[in-house]
Amino acid sequence: MCNEEAVLAVKDLKTYFYCKGRVVKAVDGVSIDVYKGRITAIIGGSGSGKSVMSLSILNLIDKPGKIVDGQVLLHGKDLLKFSEKELRGIRGRQIAMIFQEPSCALNPVVKVKKHMYEAVRIHDKGARMNNLLDGFRQTLLRVGLSEPDRVLESYPFELSGGMCQRVMVAMGLVTNAEVLIADEPTSSLDLTTQAEILEELLRLKEEGMAVILITHDLGVVAQTADDMYVIKDGKIVESGTVREVFANPKNEYTRYLMDPITIHN
Amino acid sequence: MKRLKLILLRIVQIIPVLLIVTMLAFWLSNVSAGDVANVTLQSKGIQPTEESLAAIREELGLNDPLPVQYINWLKKACRLDFGVSFQTNRPVTEEIFSRFPATLELAISASLLAVIFAIPLALLATRYRDSAPDHVIRVMSSIGATMPDFWIGLMLLYFFGVQLKIAPIVAGSKIQNIFLPAFTLSIQYAATYTRVLRGNLVEINRLDYIKAARARGLSEGGALVKHGLKNAILPVITLIGVNFGKLVGGQVAIETIFSWNGIGQFAISCMKVKDLPVIQGYIIIVLLAYVIVNLILDVVYMYIDPRIEVE
C-alpha cells in the first residue's frame, strides 16, 4: 500500500474472551499497517472485533479478555512486551484514542480544562495549568472550537456531542500524539457534525498524523480513508487502498457491505 | 449566581419542615405526657389538689386553646427557651447543651470515620474485583454491617482498655478519648458505605470516560480515583445525611459503654418520667442539627456534581 515504513504495525493479533468455559475469538489473527499522514480504515459490522482490536493496540483489554498472541509494533517496538508502566507512557502521548459517544468519554463532573491538563500532566509531572492554558486555547481553536475560553471553563454536559468530540481530538493533540485511533467517531453525531469531524480527521492527516478510523460506514471510508481493512468475525477478509477495494471488491462480505452504495450509484 | 440561589432555596425549604416537626413535637408530647399540670406540681413537691391544679393550669396557660399554646410555646422555643426540666428543675437548654456537644462530636467523628474507611476499601475492592481483596472486604463488610455496635464496643474496650491498657476504661466525654466510641459507631456505616461505593465504582468502571482516561495513560486505579470516585460518592453523601439523624439523636448503648456523657441516655431517662419540656427541646435541637448537617451536605453535593444546578 505504501513504501514508507509503517508507524504502527499490528501483526497476527489474537484477542480472545473466556466466558463460562467458552472461548470467543474476538480478534483472530489480524495484521494491519498504519502510516504517517494516511487514514487507515477498519470496517466491519457490530461484533466483528474492530473495537476490541483498537483497545488491543493500547493493551487495554480487561478480564475476561486476553491478548493471546501477536505483536503491536510502534516504530518497530512491540507494545505487548511493554510493562504496564511503560505502556502508560505510550497511551495518550504517542497513541491517542477517541470514542463513539463523545459525551460519555468525558467525565461529566470534570471541567474541560482539567481534562486537558490531565492529558498533559499524566506524561509530564512538572506541567502547570497556568503555563498550558494558552496552548489549550490554540489547540481548541485548531479543532474548530471558536470560543476556547468558554469551552475550557465548561463541564462536558454543557457541550454538544460534536463539541465533546473536538475536545477529545484536542486532548490527543496537546500531547502531540502520532497515532490517533478513532473508534466510530461520528456514529452518534448528526450529519453536519459528522462531516465536520471527518474534515477534522482529514486535516490531522494532512498535518502528518497517522489515523486509524474504525467504522461500519463505507460512506465515511470512501470520503476520508486512504487504506482500508474489512474485518469479519475477527479476521481481515479484504485489504488494500480505498481506491483498489472500491474499484474491485474481491470478497463477498465487502460486496455485501457496499451493496447499498452501488445501488444508489 | 445559580448555586447561591439553590442554597437559599434549600434554606427556605427548611422552614415548613421545622414548623411541622415543632407542631408534632408539641402536640405529641402533650398527648403522651398525660396531665402536665399534675406532673408539674409533683415535680415541685406540691400535693395536687383541685385548687392548686387550677392555679397551675392558669399559670402554664393550659386553659388556652391548643393552637394558642403552640404559638406561645414556639415563641419561646425560637429563643431556645423550652422551660424548666420537671426532673432536675434546671432550664432545659442548660441540660441539653451540657450534653449535646458531646453527642455532636461523636456523630460527626463517626460519620467522617465511616467515609474515611469506606473510600480506600471500596477502591481496593473495585480495583481487585472478584479476586481475593474484594472477597475479603465483602466478608468484612457483611460482618461489620450485622454485628451489634455494643458488642463491638465492649470488645474494643476490653482489648484496648483491659488487655493493652492504652485506652482508659472509664474515659468520660473528652475529645482525646473519642476514637474508640466513634470507631465503634462508624463500623456499621463504613460497611454499608463500602458496599454502596464498590457497587457504584464497578458500574462506573465500565463507562467510556474511565476507558478514555486509561487510554490517556492513567492506571486503572488512577482512573478510578480521579474519575470514578467523584461520581460514585454522590449516593453515599445522601446516606451520610440520613444516617446522621440516627447518630445525632444519641447512642444510648455506646454512651453507656464508653461513659460518654451524651444526649441519648439523658433523653431516655426524661422519657421515662415524662419530662415534657426536655423531650420537646431534645426533638427540636436534634432536628436542627440534622437539618443543618444535611444543608451542608447538599452544598457539598452541589460542588461535587455541577449538574445539580441545571435541574
Grid cell of B307 as nine digits: 449538574
Grid cell of B3 as nine digits: 448555586
Measuring CA to CA, which residue among A80, A60, A58, A83 is closest to residue A71? A80
Give the CA distances from residue A203 to residues A95, A198, A200, A206, in Å, rounded to whole numbers and listed in that order. Answer: 17, 9, 5, 5
pLDDT digits (tens, 9 = 90+) for B23-36: 888 886 667 656 77
Measuring CA to CA, which residue among B257, B299, B290 is closest to residue B4? B299
Average pLDDT over residues B122-149: 93
pLDDT tops 80 at residue B149? yes
**Between chains, do A58 and B306 touch, taking CB under 8 Å as contact?**
no
Q: What pLDDT, on a 0 to 100 scale, did the predictor assign at position B76?
A: 87
Task: Name A10's bridge partners.
Answer: A32, A72
**Between chains, do B215 and A107 touch, taking CB under 8 Å as contact?**
no
Which has more pLDDT, A171 or B309?
Answer: A171
Task: Name A41's bridge partners.
Answer: A213, A228
Q: What pLDDT, on a 0 to 100 scale, did the predictor assign at position A257?
A: 82
ipTM of predicted complex: 0.88
Cα–Cα distance measured from residue B71 to residue B57, given in angstroms and rounded to the nearest whole number: 17
Q: What pLDDT, on a 0 to 100 scale, did the predictor assign at position B164?
A: 83
Whether residue B296 lies within 8 A of chain A, CB to CB, comes out as no
Q: What pLDDT, on a 0 to 100 scale, did the predictor assign at position B47?
A: 76
User: If DSSP codes are grouped into helix, strand and coil, which group holds residue A100?
Assistant: coil
Cα–Cα distance measured from residue A97 to residue A214, given in angstroms and rounded to the nearest whole number: 11
Q: Which of A192-196, B62-66, B67-71, B186-190 has the lowest mean pLDDT?
A: B62-66
List of residues 6+ apart from A78 with CB closer than 8 A = A71, A72
DSSP A183-199: ESTTTTS-HHHHHHHHH
Q: What pLDDT, on a 0 to 100 scale, did the predictor assign at position A264?
A: 47
pLDDT tops 50 at residue B203? yes
pLDDT tops 70 at residue B173? no
Q: Which residues of chain A have pLDDT under 70?
A: 1-3, 260-265
Cα–Cα distance measured from residue B253 to residue A154, given in angstroms and rounded to the nearest whole number: 50
pLDDT digits (tens, 9 = 90+) for B217-249: 999 999 999 999 999 999 999 999 999 988 998
Measuring CA to CA, which residue among A30, A35, A40 is closest to residue A5? A35
**Between chains, do A60 and B218 touch, taking CB under 8 Å as contact?**
no
Decide which of 1.20.58.110, 3.40.50.720, 1.10.3720.10, 3.90.226.10 is the CATH code for B100-261: 1.10.3720.10
Neighbouring CB atoms inside 10 A of A177's CB total: 23
Dihedral sign, Cα of residue B66, residue B67, residue B68, residue B69: positive
Q: What is the mean pLDDT of chain B?
A: 87
Q: What pLDDT, on a 0 to 100 scale, did the predictor assign at position A142?
A: 86
Whether residue A211 lies within 8 A of chain B, CB to CB, comes out as no
CATH number, domain A37-50+89-264: 3.40.50.300
DSSP state of B308: G
Of B215, B226, B231, the CB nearest to A60: B215
Q: What pLDDT, on a 0 to 100 scale, did the predictor assign at position B196?
A: 95
Tell which of A55, A83, A95, A107 to mutate to test the B interface (max B CBs under 10 Å). A107
Q: What pLDDT, on a 0 to 100 scale, did the predictor assign at position A261?
A: 57
Task: Name A183's bridge partners.
Answer: A214
Three-class SS of B184-251: HHHHHHHHHHHHHHHHHHHHHHCCHHHHHHHHCCCCHHHHHHHHHHHHHCHHHHHHHHHHHHHHHCCC
Residue B66's pLDDT band (cuts 50, 70, 90): confident
pLDDT digits (tens, 9 = 90+) for B268-296: 988 888 788 888 899 989 999 999 999 99
Using an 8 Å Cβ cutoff, are A253 and A230 in contact?
yes
Average pLDDT over residues B74-101: 87
pLDDT digits (tens, 9 = 90+) for B1-53: 677 888 888 889 889 988 998 888 888 666 765 677 777 777 677 777 778 78
Domain range list for chain B: 2-97, 100-261
Whether residue B50 lies within 8 A of chain A, CB to CB, comes out as no
What residues 152-211 of chain B have any CB closer than 8 A to a CB of chain A? 207-209, 211
State which residue of chain B sits closest to A164, comparing Cα positions.
B209
Using an 8 Å Cβ cutoff, are A226 and A242 in contact?
yes
- Count of positions (residues) in chain A: 265
